[in-house]
């Protein structure tokens, strides 16, 4: 007899409540092994590849690509004993399971009316497990079925095939679609009554909706000069192409929520400093030529990161957070240094754990790995939590400086602007020097103006004279 195991959506991060199914790596009928890649999900923090938890055969997938699934909801079933043989008296149960799947594939509207039973032939009693009324499985709905060895299983919440708008709004020709498909249609602005169904018995599938949305977008955006822009790919139009609506999901949604919470919770103050970083540029050139640093990427960001770590060592009270619930200031005795990274999915701020312990070479390696993983959408969730202080590097975009918003749970963030050649008074003479602007935003509830200014000034001193780090280190 098959032994069915169910895999539920795990919490892929700290406190996450849901995730989107991005790509299934397996299909029903596939033989799988423990730790084999099973599915790629997108959380509010990152893309995560979940490993297979069982050896066996995939029975069915209970969520489709694109579905948003809450933590704890079943997403796949496996037969972990595919070679087991069912006893003879279990054969009716197996037949009933097949019948259930047949009902799933063929909607009730297409099923012929049952023929009346012959009066001289009493009906054979059906096995107890085959009766939906007895086992509560509701087998006539999509996603339900008989699970061997189980008295009752929780039905799949999103499996029913309902006409659009429910029975009260069903017309003479109701549209059959699953709730996730109807939800997708609402998000994409697709009228299901205009969609040509391709599923069995006139069922509108996810692919039907997506094709209709693509056709609609192609028509509505035909006159828009930027219709090849990637940020419009998941969007739709309601006004003939004059605007495009893109659903807010995953990283963009999480970023927006975090920034709004931070901006309206912590009183932000920003201080600015213009620094001559000519010596930093010379140091970067020397390190690039040093064979000890040939295996890492050396940039001015590396030096400003080290400068900030040295400033935190001199002023450890900047490395703190405000516990509003307990009304306490939490001073951290470690530095998890966040590095803001722009990715195809939005802004991420992964952090380097215990960055204060790293020498310069190891710090360069960590920065390189962190930013590479972020841009490849492979940042592990653990790297996106627990940060204590951060850097946002706006210089590569040609921006001089900015007023960055704090990451929730942190007390300060440093903005590092573009480095430009400018006339500068150096040793009593006007010379062309490399100059940059630094900005430090901090939470004024626990960092006063003097402390913020001292930290920023120390960062500027190390950038102007990197040898100062030897004195403070």
Residues with a known catalytic role: 444
Question: With 0-12 CB in 10 A as exposed, 13-18 as middle and 19+ as buried, what is 265?
Answer: middle
Q: Which two tokens stand for residue 304?
A: 């400003």
Rg of the Cα atoms in the chain: 30
Q: Which residues pair with 274 in a beta bridge?
A: 437
Helix (H) or strand (E) holding 187: helix 179-188
Question: With 0-12 CB in 10 A as exposed, 13-18 as middle and 19+ as buried, what is 69?
Answer: buried
Q: Report residue 185 CA to chain centroid gap.
A: 22
Q: Which two tokens stand for residue 296?
A: 């890492």
Distance (Å, whole) CA 418 – CA 434? 10
Distance (Å, whole) CA 388 – CA 3? 47
CA 462 → CA 277, 290, 321, 390, 397, distances in Å?
9, 20, 25, 17, 23
Of the candidates 398, 401, 338, the residue with the CA atom closest to the CA atom of residue 374: 338
Helix, strand, coil shares, percent, the chain, to 5:
35, 25, 45
Q: Which two tokens stand for residue 307?
A: 């400068």
Query: What letter does residue 195 receive in the DSSP assignment?
Result: S
Number of Cβ within a 10 Å radius of residue 442 = 29
CB < 8 Å & 24+ apart, contacts of 226-233: 230/344
Q: Position of tokens 């403070």?
A: 472
Of the candidates 389, 385, 326, 263, the residue with the CA atom closest to the CA atom of residue 16: 385
Q: Position of tokens 């120390």?
A: 458
CA dihedral 70, 71, 74, 80 (to 10 degrees): 160
Distance (Å, whole) CA 262 – CA 407? 7
Question: With 0-12 CB in 10 A as exposed, 13-18 as middle and 19+ as buried, what is 338?
Answer: buried
């Amino acid at each position: 007899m098959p032994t069915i195991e169910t895999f539920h959506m795990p919490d892929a991060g700290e406190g996450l409540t849901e995730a989107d199914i991005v790509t299934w790596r397996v299909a029903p009928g596939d033989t799988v092994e423990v730790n084999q890649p099973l599915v790629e999900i997108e959380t509010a923090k990152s893309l995560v590849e979940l490993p297979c938890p069982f050896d066996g055969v995939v029975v069915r997938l209970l969520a489709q690509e694109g579905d948003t699934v809450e933590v704890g909801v079943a997403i796949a079933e496996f037969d972990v004993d595919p070679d087991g043989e069912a006893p003879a008296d279990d054969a009716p149960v197996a037949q009933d399971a097949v019948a259930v799947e047949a009902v799933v594939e063929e909607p009730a509207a297409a099923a012929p009316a049952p023929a009346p039973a012959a009066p001289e032939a009493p009906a054979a009693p059906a096995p107890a497990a085959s009766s939906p009324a007895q086992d509560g499985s509701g087998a006539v709905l999509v996603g339900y079925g008989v699970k061997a060895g189980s008295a009752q299983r929780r039905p799949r919440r999103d499996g029913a095939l309902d006409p659009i708008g429910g029975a009260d709004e069903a017309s003479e020709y109701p549209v059959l679609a699953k709730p996730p498909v109807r939800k997708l249609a609402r998000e994409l602005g697709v009228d299901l009554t205009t969609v040509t169904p391709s599923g069995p018995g006139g069922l509108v599938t996810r692919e039907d909706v997506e094709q209709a949305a693509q056709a609609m977008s192609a028509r509505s955006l035909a006159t828009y000069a930027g219709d090849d822009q990637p940020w419009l790919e998941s969007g739709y139009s309601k006004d003939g192409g004059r605007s495009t609506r893109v659903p807010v999901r995953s990283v963009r949604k999480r970023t927006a929520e975090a920034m709004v919470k931070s901006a309206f919770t912590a009183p932000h103050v920003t201080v600015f400093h213009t620094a001559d970083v000519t010596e930093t540029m010379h140091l970067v050139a020397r390190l690039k030529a040093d064979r000890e640093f040939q295996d890492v990427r050396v940039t001015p960001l590396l030096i400003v990161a080290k400068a900030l770590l040295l400033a935190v060592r001199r002023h450890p009270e900047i490395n703190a957070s405000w516990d509003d619930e307990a009304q306490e200031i939490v001073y951290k005795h470690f530095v998890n240094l966040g590095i803001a990274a722009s990715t195809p999915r939005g802004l991420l701020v992964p952090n380097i754990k215990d960055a204060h312990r790293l020498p310069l070479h190891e710090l360069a390696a960590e920065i390189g790995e962190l930013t590479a993983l972020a841009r490849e959408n492979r940042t592990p969730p653990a790297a996106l939590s627990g940060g204590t202080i951060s850097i946002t590097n706006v210089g590569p975009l040609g921006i001089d400086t900015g007023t960055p918003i704090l990451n929730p749970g942190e007390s300060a963030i440093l903005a590092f602007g573009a480095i430009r050649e400018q006339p500068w008074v150096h040793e009593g003479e006007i010379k062309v020097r490399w100059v940059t602007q630094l900005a430090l935003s901090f939470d004024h509830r626990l960092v006063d103006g003097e402390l913020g200014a001292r930290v920023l000034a120390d960062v500027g001193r190390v950038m102007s004279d990197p040898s100062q780090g030897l004195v403070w280190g």
